[in-house]
Structure 1
Amino acid sequence: MADAAPGEIVIKPFDQFIVKPLFGGTEVHWYTITNVTLWMALAVLCVVGLFVLGSRGRAIVPSRSQSIGELFYGFIYKMVEDIAGHDGVKYFPYIFTVFLFIFFANFLGLLPMSFTTTSHIAVTAVLGFGVFIIVTVIGFVKNGAGFLGLFWPSEAPMALRPIIAVIEVISYFVRPVSHSIRLAGNITAGHAMIKVFAGFAAIAAVAPLSVVAIAAVYGLEVLVAGIQAYVFTILTCIYLKDALHPAH
């Protein structure tokens, strides 16, 4: 809420997503340290703090931080093994790292005065296209030209195979776009809703309802933060399964 005349309420829900340099100035270049840089670095530090510092003792009776780390580890490891198969376990470190970064970035964005890095398509696109490129390379390295069998369903009638192949190719190349937009869109929508309801809190008549709405949406955003990290990861596992076993 800014630049409002007396008695006028101006709500700008997307101002919270503006990228700003940390050390003055207004121009942002590729080398500029911004609020995005800061909060991505904090997400990385959270991962390091939990899995390096919090688990450095490797105690038989784990500490609280070690227990949380082991819970994350076991959960994602089982997901990779169940979906991508035993062959996919070797790629577990990459998938686990992606999950942790998104998870902590999402939850850090719920802190007051923070910046949600996963609300920016520039961040999620790097993650989405990174998965797409890595999975595609794995598919060709492991299967050679046989990877193209993913686009040619042998069980379909011959007359329909070319049509299905075109559809499969289009859907395959849409994967990184939907992968990245899904994450950024869900995070952006929730934060924007909170900002809108916060703007209405300035009106005395609806302030109580506004506070209730903010609390409800915030609670939903807590769920979304974890669910979106999970969805991004499970889709990565599914794409990896297709790359490892294109005939299935």
Structure 2
Amino acid sequence: MLSNKRKRRVAEAESSTGFNIHPMDQFQIKPLFGAGEIHWYTPTNVTLWMLIAVVVATVLLVLGTRGRAVIPSRSQSIAEMMYGFVYKMVEDVTGKEGLKYFPYIFTLFIFILLANFLGLIPGSFTTTSHIAVTAVLALGVFLGVTILGFVKNGTKFLGLFWVSSAPLALRPVLAVIEIISYFVRPVSHSIRLAGNVMAGHAVIKVFAGFAGALGVFSIFPIISITAVYGLEVLVAAIQAYVFTILTCVYLNDALHPSH
């Protein structure tokens, strides 16, 4: 009862002052149809915006490049630029041997990039702000490169954890550190993306709350929102790049495990 009364008092205070900021509400997962409990098969706002990202990627990369004109259209130019950028990244980090895995890495990059940018549209939902989404992407990379490492190298893949260039007495200690850091990879890989995306959106929502409460002085939080939004555009691209290049680094470890 006390907690309910406290909630009512807070709500009344917020309504009386006009100061009502709930920056984390924008990350709530809601069913698309009706209300009630969410099950694994329930279509939600996350499902919708992931589907939109896939559709946009298909339109851009398939329909936008089907003409293959000598003088490319805008959509073809954008698609070719992203293709070349990721192709060069994979080749530089993993070598020619890693290019056979380029389609998977390119798919990751495009999905994360588009999901990040779509999340910047007012009223949209940022799917990459949820650990549940980024963790699946990171686990896919982690399991994929680990299985590939053993398939390609057998037990030699364990050489990734044995620092042969270090003094013999330190090698067991370094091996333990390397093993721990290896299994932490999917955690850091997923949290880095979700945390950066979520933080920026929460800051924008806080400034928006100030803009609604300050009246004539709302110009100051509006300027801040504009600045943070511009930063978020950069973060959306940078985080897609960081996730992709770390995937390339992990793939290189699987292909060339020896220190």
What band does the TM-score fall into relative to the shorter chain? over 0.9
Give the counterpart of 1:100 among 99, 104, 110.
110
Q: Quote how far apart the aligned CAs of 1:2 are.
A: 9.9
Q: Given the superposition, is the C-alpha separation of residues 243 and 24 from structure 1 closer, same or farther in structure 2, using an over 3 Å criterion?
A: same
Structure 1 residue aligned with 2:257:
246
Which one has a bigger Cα radius of gyration?
Answer: 2
| Count of paired positions | 248
> Superposed, which structure 2 residues align to 1:102-141 within 5 Å?
102-141=112-151
Equivalence for 2:218: 207
Select which of 46, 52, 59 maps to 1:36: 46
Deviations 1:194-225 (CA, angstroms, capped at 9, x unpaired): 00000000212531110000000000000000
CA distance in 1 between counterparts of 2:100 and 2:79 reads: 19
Q: Distance in 2 between matches of 1:217 and 1:70?
A: 29
2: distance between equivalents of 1:41 and 1:197?
30
Q: What does 1:1-248 correspond to in 2, within 5 Å?
A: 4-202=14-212, 203-248=214-259
Name the aligned partner's letter for residue 127 of structure 1: L
For residue 127 of structure 2, what is the amino acid of its counterpart?
A: T
Q: Which amino acid aligns with 2:121?
A: L
CA-atom RMSD in angstroms: 1.3
The Cα offsets for residues 1-37 of structure 1, whole Å up to 9 and x where unpaired, read as 9993312412100000000000111311000000000
Q: Deviation digits for residues 149-190 of structure 1, max 9, x if unmatched?
A: 000011111100000000000000000000000000000000
Give the match's secondary structure for 1:4.
helix
2-side partners of 1:204 and 1:51: how far apart?
Answer: 45
Provide the secondary structure at the position in 2 that maps to 1:27. Answer: coil
Q: Distance in 1 between matches of 2:254 and 2:237?
A: 26
Q: Say if 1:133 and 1:18 are closer, same or farther in 2 by CA, change over 3 A.
A: same
What SS does the aligned partner of 1:127 have? Answer: helix
Q: Counterpart amino acid of 1:74?
A: G
Counterpart-to-counterpart distance in 2, 1:62 and 1:137: 40
Q: Note if contact 1:128-1:179 (Cα within 8 Å) is conserved in structure 2.
A: yes
Alignment CA distance shift 1:2-1:217 (3 Å): farther
| Distance in structure 1 (CA, Å) of the matches to 2:247 and 2:122 | 31
In the superposition, the TM-score normalised over structure 1's length comes to 0.98
Percent pairwise identity: 69
4+ residue runs of structure 1 moved beyond 6 angstroms? none
Relative to structure 2, which stretch is displaced further, 177-186 or 25-34?
A: 25-34
**Unpaired stretches in structure 2, ≥5 consecutive residues:** 1-10
Residue type at the aligned position of 1:43:
A
> Does the residue aligned with 1:33 lie in a helix, a strand or coil?
coil
> Does the C-alpha gap of structure 1 residues 150 and 2 become closer, same or farther in structure 2, counting only changes over 3 Å?
farther
Quick one: structure 1 residues 56 and 2, their matched pair in 2 at CA, closer, same or farther if it must change by over 3 Å? farther
Once residues 3 and 84 of structure 1 are traced to their aligned partners in structure 2, the CA distance between those partners, rounded to angstroms, is: 58
Q: CA deviation at 1:126?
A: 0.2
CA deviations on 1:215-241 (whole Å, 9 max, x unpaired) are: 000000000000000000000000000
